[in-house]
Chain A
Amino acid sequence: MSSLSRRVAIAGGAVLLLGGATYGISHVGCALGERRAAERLDRPDRLFAMAPRIRDIERVGRAVLAGDTPIAPETLLHSLAARPDIRAACAVDCAPTRIDALGATFRAEMREGAFVVAANWVLAASEARIAALWVLNRDHVGAVNARPA
């Protein structure tokens, strides 16, 4: 009985170690990728990983676009690329890690007072811009391929 318990404990520990190691290695890998491309908004389309989490995204996006005289995709991309944490998030290959990073950015923006009201939703400024970008991309396929200067 005691040896069975020991075996179970050892096996359990091994599973935990393996799981932890897998998570840790993946995390380090993602972080390295993030650092490598932190200086540019390489793949803006990757921001759309957040789309399912932005409430009422189409109404929000259209409200942002209607807020000023026509907003070009470049303008939105410029604004987004101005934030190092957004650039870093875009460079992350791992979608869940990217989503976590963007979520943290939104929370930080809210804390800093960088929030907007669009279509009656109170949103982080970058969140609203991503919604607008998503709408532009949907209306004009490929619109977000334009790269910020």
Chain B
Amino acid sequence: MYDVLIVGGGPAGICLAVELSQSGLRVGLLESGGAHGIDADTQALYDGPVTGNEDDLDLAAIRLRALGGTSLHWGGHCAPLDRIDFERAPAGFSGWPLSYDAMVPYWERASVHCDLGAFDYGLDAPQDLAREDLLLNDSADVETAILRQSRPTRFDEKYLSLLADSPGVDLWLWANATHVEMDADGAVRHVETRTLEGITRVFEAKATVLACGAVENARLLMASNARNGMTFGNAGDLLGRCYMDHPAGGAGFIRFDAPQPPRPYWQDIDTYAADGIPFHFVLRLSDAALLREDLPNIQYYVIPLSADLEVRARQRAARRSIGGLRNVVKYAIGRDVGESFSLSREYCAFITNADSFVHDTAITFLNGQGPTNALLKFEQEQRPDRTNRVVLSESRDALGGRRAGVHWAPSQDEVAAVKRATAIVGAAVGAEGLGRVELETHDADPYWGMTTSWHQMGTTRMAEATTSGVCDPQGRVHGTDALYMTGTSLFPTAGRANPTLTAVALSVRLADHLKTEVPRL
């Protein structure tokens, strides 16, 4: 018998195991796939029907069933949730049962797991950033926010040897959890697994944690409840409901009055923290504007558009040249250049792109070339909606289990919210004298061109009251003794930020809880 059994070897499950590996607790980590990439037959277990949108949302593509989980296709953009995400609740639902300040120590520790350097998201964090580099001065309504770029961390590569060498952790690969066997009083008897070859095992533990992502966490609990004839976590009929993503798409265009110089918002402009971590810059509505307008949180990438690909390529090469020179100089004067610095690489980048730099500088000086248009690409918080949900479908997987089905439909309210938020950004652009914003028009498209960000959240939301959520604020399934969830399924609201950092932070937080709680069980 284990002290803690973790089902799911993605970022949340692996980091929980790593956090517990030195605790003296005996930990079992079950992973459905292998340790070296995707196995097609195992991945096919994730197939399932999707309704409500025409976005080609594919449950077997947005989730990965192998050690490392979704980190295997993660882009690595990271930011914590905003204060406002903790300070308001959506109409008809509870909000986060934690405070922003309570989360900070866990985000700090999660930042180490995610290779993000310091937990600092202030505008002072980027090196050598002048305020005039920003598109907009922070106003009452619109401000610039930064995202940190993880390598991106592949958690399997980062932690496989640590887990394999840890005497306190057993890693079980190819172990597909089929259900959690539970007593009527809420005690977990065991977790049953089955390989595709038909070998069945049962695992017992004092505490069991489901860390399989928002879709599979809900599916496993629903399947287990159905098998056991129970309704754990479902007193409020919320199990599987309030599935959320970050709807994303083109919200509009900034039509600048004058060609723009290079800005840190452009994706090919490299801006770094003192510790070498790259940043991305986005625009967001201020907390005050979100509250005043009752809008969901939202962020905008500003993507410069140039019809001339040759010009863009030359500009990229020019920036690579000056970036290489800057890094060489930083290295020469003893500044921190980050772990991945290579003198020969940076020097060669400077030399080989120097002609583009000279060419581009001359043209910019003579003609003032620079983008006069930029796309505002939004990523929007999707508010909880009971109709967006995970269900047990009628189709069966290779193990005989009912596949998850997902209904996900961005609403017309969300379309209206994007339009209003973008108009507010447009007003800030106009107030600054930069130009005008033209809203994107996709009204004929039923989903306004919205696509999924492959961020799955909600479905086992945490809340104090048993009727407001599936799990309590620690992540324990309401009505059970020691069945926990971790990861993005716990999110009561989504915020605007990529969810991985917060998912890992919740695992770190759960690890602290289990270290004190499990010895008492």
CA distance A121 to B438 in the complex (A): 4
Say if the beta carbon of A148 comes within 8 Å of chain B. Answer: no
User: Which residues of A are interface residues toward B (Cβ below 8 A)?
Assistant: 55, 103, 106-108, 110-111, 113, 115, 117, 120-124
Q: Of B422, B431, B432, B433, which is in contact with the most chain A CB atoms at under 10 Å from its CB?
A: B431
Residues of chain A lying within 8 A (CB to CB) of residue B422 = 122
Q: Please, how many angstroms separate the alpha-carbon atoms of A123 and B437 in the complex?
A: 8
B439 lies within 8 A of A123 (CB): no
**Can you identify 7 A-B contacts, CB atoms within 8 angstroms?**
A55-B438, A113-B427, A115-B430, A120-B440, A120-B441, A121-B438, A124-B430
CB distance from A46 to the nearest CB of B (A): 22
Do B439 and A107 have beta carbons less than 8 Å apart? Answer: no
Contacts of A55 in B (CB 8 A): 255, 436, 438
CB-defined contacts of A106 to chain B, threshold 8 Å: 430
How far, in angstroms, from A117 to B427 measured CA to CA in the complex?
A: 10
Query: CB-nearest residue of chain A relative to B430?
Result: A110
**A124-B431 Cα distance, complex, nearest whole Å:** 9
In the A-B complex, the 5 residue pairs with the closest CB atoms:
A122-B426, A110-B431, A110-B430, A111-B431, A115-B427
What residues on B are CB-neighbors of A110 within 8 Å? 427-428, 430-431
Interchain nearest-CB distance for B136 vs A (Å)? 11
The residues of A that contact B419 with a CB separation of less than 8 Å are 117
CA distance A9 to B431 in the complex (A): 41
Distance, CA A124 to CA B426, complexed state (A): 10
CB contacts (< 8 Å) of B423 on chain A: these are: 115, 117, 122
- With A and B bound together, what is the CA distance between A120 and B255 in angstroms? 12
Alpha-carbon distance between A121 and B427 when the two chains are bound, in angstroms: 10
CB of B255 within 8 A of CB of A122, answer: no
Which A residues touch B441, using CB under 8 A? Answer: 120
Q: CB distance A121 to B436 under 8 Å?
A: yes
What residue in chain A is nearest B141 (Cβ atoms)?
Answer: A113
> Which residue of chain B lies nearest to A111 when distances are taken between CB atoms in the complex?
B431
Distance (whole angstroms) from the CB of A103 to the closest CB of chain B: 7
A-B contacts, CB under 8 A, total: 50
Give the residue name and chain of the B residue nearest to A119 (CB): B438
If over half of A's interface residues share one DSSP class (helix, strand or loop), that class is named, otherwise mixed; here it is: mixed
Most buried by A among B419, B428, B429, B430: B430
Q: Which of B139, B433, B436 is the one whose CB lies under 8 Å from A122?
A: B436
Give the CA-CA distance A120 to B430 in the complex, in Å: 14
> Interface residues of B, CB < 8 Å — how many?
21
- Nearest chain B CB to A112 CB, angstrom units: 9
Residues of B within 8 A of A121 (CB): 436-439
What is the bound-complex CA distance between A102 and B432, given in angstroms? 14
A37 to B476, CA, bound (A): 73
**B431: which A residues are within 8 A, CB to CB?**
107-108, 110-111
The distance from the CB of A66 to the nearest CB of chain B, in whole angstroms, is 16
New contact pairs (7) apart from A115-B430, A121-B436, CB-CB < 8 Å: A55-B255, A55-B438, A107-B431, A107-B432, A110-B428, A121-B437, A122-B439
Residues of A within 8 A of B439 (CB): 117, 120-122
Residue in chain A with minimal CB distance to B429: A122
Contact check, B426 vs A115: say whether CB atoms are below 8 A apart: yes
In the complex, per-residue mask of B125-164: 1 if CB is within 8 Å of any chain A CB, else 0: 0000000000000010100000000000000000000000
Roughly how many angstroms separate A79 CA and B141 CA in the complex, as a whole number?
25
Q: What separation, in Å, do the CA atoms of A29 and B423 have in the docked complex?
A: 38
Considering the complex, give the chain A residue whose CB is closest to the CB of B289: A113
A58: shortest Cβ distance to chain B, in Å?
A: 15
> What string of 1s and 0s marks CB contacts (under 8 Å) between B433-467 and chain A?
10011111100000000000000000000000000
- Bound Cα distance from A77 to B139, whole angstroms: 31
**Nearest Cβ in chain A — how far from B256, in angstroms?**
11
Give B388-421 as 1s and 0s: 1 = Cβ < 8 Å from A's Cβ atoms: 0000000000000000000000000000000100
Contacts of A111 in B (CB 8 A): 139, 427, 431
Chain B residue at smallest Cβ distance from A55: B436
How far is it, in angstroms, between the C-alpha of A5 and the C-alpha of B476 when the chains are bound?
Answer: 85
- A126 to chain B minimum Cβ distance, whole angstroms, is 12
B433-A123 in contact (CB<8A): no
Considering the complex, which residues of chain B in the window 98-144 have a beta carbon less than 8 Å from any beta carbon of chain A? 139, 141
Contact A120 B438 (CB under 8 A): yes
Q: Could you tell me if B436 and A123 are in contact, using CB atoms closer than 8 angstroms? A: yes
Q: Measured between alpha carbons, how far is A122 from B434 in the docked complex, in Å?
A: 13
Chain B residue contacts of A123, Cβ below 8 A = 430, 436
Note all chain A residues with C-beta closer than 8 A to B252: 120, 122
A124 to B141, CA, bound (A): 16
Q: How far is the CA of A124 from the CA of B427 in the complex (A)?
A: 8
Residue pair B426, A107 in contact (C-beta under 8 Å): no
Closest-CB distance, B241 to chain A (whole angstroms): 34
Bound Cα distance from A26 to B255, whole angstroms: 32
Q: How far is the CB of A59 from chain B (nearest CB, A)?
A: 11
Whether the pair B436, A103 counts as a contact (CB closer than 8 A) is no
Residue numbers in A under 8 Å from B430 (CB-CB): 106-107, 110, 115, 122-124
In the docked arrangement, what's the CA distance between A124 and B436, Å? 10
Residue of A nearest to B255 (CB): A55
User: Which residue in chain A gives the minimum CB-CB distance to B254?
Assistant: A122
> Do B433 and A103 touch (CB < 8 A)?
yes
CA distance A111 to B426 in the complex (A): 11
Residues of B within 8 A of A117 (CB): 419, 423, 426, 439
Residue of B nearest to A120 (CB): B439
In the bound complex, what is the Cα–Cα distance between A107 and B139 (angstroms)?
Answer: 13
Query: Closest CB-CB distance, B374 to chain A, in whole Å?
Result: 14
Q: Chain B contacts of A115 at CB under 8 A?
A: 423, 426-427, 430
Residues of B contacting A113 with CB < 8 Å?
Answer: 141, 427
CA distance in complex: A107, B255 (Å): 15
Chain B positions 168 through 193: 1 when the CB is less than 8 Å from some CB of chain A, otherwise 0: 00000000000000000000000000
A115 CA to B430 CA, complexed, in Å: 9
